[in-house]
Structure 1
Amino acid sequence: MNDLAAHEVLVALSTAPDEATARRLARQLVEESLAACVNLLNAAQSIYRWQGQVEEAAECVMLIKTTQAAWPRLKERLLQLHPYEVPELLALNVGDGHAPYLAWVLDNVKETDR
């Protein structure tokens, strides 16, 4: 695997209001082959501004491993499924990584709709 493969992998970040919702979203993305893996980091505390007020909430963070090619479909699907009015969804490019893991991500995310 060359360095170019690392640039094909993305880590997307999102949050959900609770672990059950995050688990449901993660399972759907993996079952649809839009993500190779989703890590759930429960009990995150978020402080944010919403509609002019500073809010605090417990959330579950999702670390979603996907590919550049699958990103548009993943984004569309997560926004369809997500309960928030404005869900957090950020994509971070992977600059480098463990080659066998990167290959595994690429092998487990479908490139196009079947």
Structure 2
Amino acid sequence: MTEFVQIQTTTGDRAVAERIAAELVDRRLAACVQIAGPMTSTYRWQGEVESTEEYVCTLKCRAAAFDEVAELIGSLHPYDVPDVIATPISHASHAYGKWLNESLSP
């Protein structure tokens, strides 16, 4: 079932997370988007260790749509380098796989 992937991105603003979710689902690029948070992220940026409150967006989409999804997230995202990471979905229930297929653009 590797035709689908789960993509994760983070943003420091819940409104941005909600906008990303709405755009992806509206364009049928994502079947669903879960928003979780806030959480604390600690990372190195421009030589300094930073800690920021963020929201996680987790979405399911077609693997073939990754580049389009990443581009759309980048266009809506305020970060210079937004994280857009995909993990293949190797297994899913038959019913969920069918729902994914029906919910996404071909």
Report the TM range for the smaller structure's normalisation.
Answer: over 0.9
Whether the 8 Å CA contact 2:16–2:76 is kept in 1: the answer is no
Provide the identity percentage.
35
- What RMSD, in angstroms, separates the aligned Cα atoms of the two structures? 0.9
Does 2:36 correspond to 1:41? yes
What's the TM-score once normalised by structure 2's chain length?
Answer: 0.95
Aligned to 1:13: 8
Aligned to 1:104: 99
Unaligned runs of 5+ in 1: 1-5
1:95 to 79, 90, 106: 90
Does 2:20 correspond to 1:61? no
Deviation string, structure 1 residues 82-112 (Cα, Å, up to 9, x no partner): 111000100100111112112111211112x
Unaligned runs of 5+ in 2: none
Distance in 1 of aligned mates of 2:19 and 2:4: 23
Moved over 6 A (4+): none
What's the TM-score once normalised by structure 1's chain length?
Answer: 0.88
Partner-residue secondary structure (3-state), 2:2: helix
